[in-house]
Structure 1
Amino acid sequence: MQTHDLAVPECGGAESFALMVMVMGHSMAPEFLEGEILIIEPEGLAKDGAYVLAWHNEEWTFRQLVRTKAGWVLHPLSPAFADAPLADLSAVRGVIILKALPGRRRASKFYV
């Protein structure tokens, strides 16, 4: 699941913002699907297991942040895709705190 040509809002401080997920492939299925809205906390705590928005390889990507013995990786949920190693956490630009489906309040899920 990647977002291309995404303009991240110039939010001040710790302002959260909404992002419509644009699915390209199935790298984050079944947890995250096309049409879901993600709420991103730009100043959120990027910790092991968190779902994050990152700028990696000249594009925006949405993955699970995982700490391995070798360091941090951006981990897709689908085993058909490979982990992407990170030199450090500077690529992480926000942490997903909520997902929701428009008009379906009960389908919302908090991640923090």
Structure 2
Amino acid sequence: MTEPMLEGTGCALHEPFALQVLGPDMEPEFPDRCIVIVEPTEYCRSGMYVFAEVEGVRWFRQFHRDGQGREWLMALNPDFPQIELTGLEWKVLGIVIQRNIRRQIKHYDYDDAGALASATPLPGNAVDITGRA
């Protein structure tokens, strides 16, 4: 039996959901108390803003993969540390598709991000960075 990405059951787990950003970690793009809309998916590519779980702790960060294949979760605010994912237990819970700051809405497209939800699952912690998912 597979474990659901988030607690609960039913089709609602596959629908976008809203979260409020708490703290300055992702400023200036995502200021404290702004609202983000997250599209549930297990996939991401370098440069995407993701909601991820690392060693049981959930993070909102930007995913990066360097030239040597190392993977990172990066805060946009340089005052906060990077999280190197190499050797850690982690999974993507969703990608940010929209931001709302005092009714000013910005959408994040990621060039074919919608295709990610219908793609064949990659094994383990594999991450598609080819743009073909």
The aligned length equals 100
2:25 paired residue among 8, 24, 27: 27
Partner of 1:111: 108
TM-fit CA distance, 1:84:
0.8
Distance 1:45 1:70 in 2: 16
- State the one-letter code of the partner of 1:110: H
Higher share of residues assigned helix: 2
Distance 2:30 2:69 in 1: 27
Moved more, 28-37 or 81-90: 81-90
- State the one-letter code of the partner of 2:101: L
TM-score, normalised with respect to structure 1: 0.75
Partner of 2:81: 82
Distance 2:97 2:89 in 1: 18
Distance 1:84 1:93 in 2: 16
TM-fit CA distance, 1:94:
0.6
Q: Which runs of 5+ in 2 are unaligned?
A: 1-5, 110-133
TM-score, normalised with respect to structure 2: 0.64
Task: Name the CA shift for 1:38/1:44 in 2 (closer, same or farther; >3 Å).
Answer: farther
Q: Which runs of 5+ in 1 are unaligned?
A: 1-7
TM-fit CA distance, 1:99:
0.6
